[in-house]
Structure 1
Amino acid sequence: MKGKEYYNDIQKIFEDLPDNFNILEEQIDMEVQMEYFEFSKKIKEEKSDENFLECANELFLPETDLERKKQILIGLAGMDDVKAYRTLERFEEQADSDIRSWAVLALQENRMLLQTSLLDEQQFFISTGLGGKGKKLRYYVVFINRHGNEMLTKSQQKLLKDELIFGLKPEDGEFESIDFSDGFSTSLVLLPVTANIKQVFSSIIEECNQYGNFLEEDMIITNVKILSRNEILDIINKQDKSELRDGMEEE
């Protein structure tokens, strides 16, 4: 019950979103995002008088340590200046892997600051681990096979893929990829933030099951990260145990 209420609360938030929102398109680990925003809050609370544009060249020097680069990125992100944006844009294009996620987040933050200033309208930012495109969020969906650890047959695989592509279109969704494994199938899709996610995928499963009843009604949907096989199996096993307990209680 709590899970359903939580889902409905999230859906309501998305439905009430104003038009002026931005979605982080890159796939960035949520822990990295939290670290960025916590560090950003700390820097802003310190209210440093440092002009980060004057020291921006340090970003491009190999001898500059990682913490200093993070500090400069945060500083530039909070500047209502096109020069800061251009500097962040240039750095993001060549940033090493250990700092690139921070560069992407800083560039996004500064872009929103400039938009707010130019349009005189507060901008809203949505970020998830899997990112998105335009006004759509990326979701990782796991369809669970009804027949244990068996892989879907070729005809079942084709049916699921076709129904997935067909079922996304009315919601202005986009199909990106699908993979088939023993016990389950996984897919990456894009859907508008206002789409009724649960209803979309439940309908797809219902359509598929008219031709063999080969998918479980339950599914796994996340926009946080791509799950490993072990993580997926762990979720499925916990769900099975929960259903077993519920059945024993009813008896």
Structure 2
Amino acid sequence: MEEDKYYQNIQKALEDLPDNFSILEERIDIEVQMKYFEYTKEAARQENAEDSFEKREELFDDSVDEERKKEILTAIAVYDDVKAYRMLEKFVKESEGLLKQWGILALQESRMLMQSSLLDEQQVFISTGLGGKGKKLRYFVVFLSEDQEELLSDTQQKLLKDELIFELKKHEGIFESMDFMEGFSSTLIMLPLNVEVKSVFQNVINECNQYGGFLQEDLIITNVKVLSRGEIIQLIHQKKSEKNDELDDE
């Protein structure tokens, strides 16, 4: 029940989005995003924007520490000048690791600032750990097998993949990859924001189960990150434990 309410709230929020929104395309760790947005709350950021831009060469100096570079990037992101945007583009191309991710977030913010100035309207920015493209978000989905000890047969694997691709096409979705392991199958896909995500995969399960009932009704959907095998197994055990607790309460 709580899970259904969660999906309903998400769907309502997506339906209420204005047309002028942009999606962060790159996959950036959600913790990095949260730390970046904490930086954006600093009152002095706007005041330091021009001064930070004047000191932009520090970004390409190996002797300057990471925290200082993050501070400069975050301040330059709100400097309303195309030169700041081009400089951030250059930094993203030449950097790597955590600072590259930080630079991508600053670049996205700078892009939105310019768009807001040119169009004279506020822009909406959507970011998730897995990113997206255009008006589509990327999702990591795990289908759970009825037999938790066995890999799906070749026929079942082909059926699941074919049904998934068929269902995605109906909603202008994009299939990216699929992996099969003992007990579950995982996939990376993209779907438009206005699509009711859970029902898409429920349709896939229903179609597949007409040929042997080899998939569970439950599934895992996230747009935060690609889950490891250990994390998936932990979630499965957690779900089983919750169900057992519910049965005990009855």
- Same-fold status (TM-score > 0.5): yes
Aligned to 1:14: 14
What is the rounded CA distance, in whole Å, between the counterparts of 2:149 and 2:169 in structure 1?
Answer: 30
Percentage identity across aligned positions? Answer: 56
| TM-score normalised by length of structure 1 | 0.96
Q: Where does residue 126 of structure 1 map in the other structure?
A: 126
The answer for the alignment partner of 1:240 in structure 2 is 240
- Following superposition of structure 1 onto structure 2, how do residues 101-112 of structure 1 map, counting pairs within 5 Å? 101-112=101-112
Alignment check: 8 A CA contact 1:26 1:132 kept: yes
1:65, distance to aligned residue in structure 2 (A): 1.1
- Which 10-residue stretch deviates more, 1-10 or 182-191? 1-10
Aligned partners of 2:46 and 2:79 also within 8 Å = no
User: Are the aligned partners of 2:49 and 2:75 in contact in 1 as well (CA < 8 Å)?
Assistant: no
AA aligned to 1:96 is E
Q: Give the aligned partner of residue 151 of structure 1.
A: 151
Query: CA deviation digits over 1:29-68, x for unaligned, max 9?
Result: 1100011110121264684375222111111111111111
Query: 1:221: Cα distance to partner?
Result: 0.1
Alignment deviations for residues 189-210 of structure 1 (CA, whole Å, 9 cap, x no partner): 0001111001000000000000
Alpha-carbon separation, structure 1, partners of 2:25 and 2:45:
28
What value does the CA root-mean-square deviation take over the aligned residues? 1.3
- Provide the rounded CA distance (Å) in 2 between the counterparts of 1:224 and 1:49: 31
Q: Distance in 1 between the 2:14 and 2:199 partners? A: 15
Q: CA deviation at 1:104?
A: 0.4
C-alpha separation in 1, matches of 2:43 and 2:236: 42
Per the TM alignment, residue 13 of structure 1 is displaced from its structure 2 partner at its CA by 0.4
Q: Residue in 1 aligned with 2:92?
A: 92
Q: Distance in 1 between matches of 2:47 and 2:81?
A: 18
1:28 equivalent in alignment to 2:28: yes
In the TM superposition, residue 245 of structure 1 has moved relative to its aligned partner by: 2.6
Q: For residues 149-171 of structure 1, what are the alpha-carbon distances to aligned partners after superposition, in whole Å with 9 as ceiling and x for unaligned? A: 21000000000000000000111
Which whole-Å CA distance do the structure 2 matches of 1:50 and 1:80 have between them? Answer: 9
Cα separation, 1, equivalents of 2:205 and 2:149: 18
Q: How many residues align?
A: 250
TM-score, scaled to structure 2: 0.96
Structure-1 separation of matches of 2:203 and 2:49: 56
- 2:240 paired with 1:228: no
* Residue number in structure 1 paired with 2:65: 65
**Aligned match of 1:216:** 216
**Greater than 6 Å deviation, 4+ residue runs:** none
Structure 1's unaligned 5+ residue stretches are none
Preserved CA contact (<8 Å) 1:147 1:183: yes
Q: Say whether the 8 Å CA contact 1:152–1:180 is kept in structure 2.
A: yes
Correspondence list, 1:162-173, <5 A: 162-173=162-173
User: Shift of the alpha carbon at 1:247?
Assistant: 2.7
Check the 8 A contact 1:143/1:185 in 2, yes or no.
Answer: yes
